Homo-oligomer: A and B are copies of this chain.
Amino acid sequence: MIDITTQPIDTAALLRQVGSPQAGAVVLFLGTAREFTHGRQTASLDYECYPEMALQKLTALEAEARTRWLLTGCAIVHRVGRLEIGEASVAVAVSTEHRQAAFAAGQWLIDTLKEIVPIWKKENWADGDAQWVHPGLETPPEARDATRGRAVSGPSPTADISSSEHTGSRR
Contact = CB atoms under 8 A, between A and B. Distances in A.
A83 B26 CA distance: 16
Contact of A26 (B21, B32, B99): B32
Interface stretch (A11-19, A140-148, A154-162, A163-171): A11-19
Number of identical monomers bound together in the oligomeric complex: 2
Contacts of A95: 32
A133 to B, nearest CB: 13
Given A11-B11, A12-B11, A103-B103, A30 B20 contact: no
A110 interface: yes
A53 interface: no
B29 A102 contact: yes
Interface of A: 11-12, 15, 19-36, 85-86, 88, 95, 97, 99, 102-103, 106-107, 110
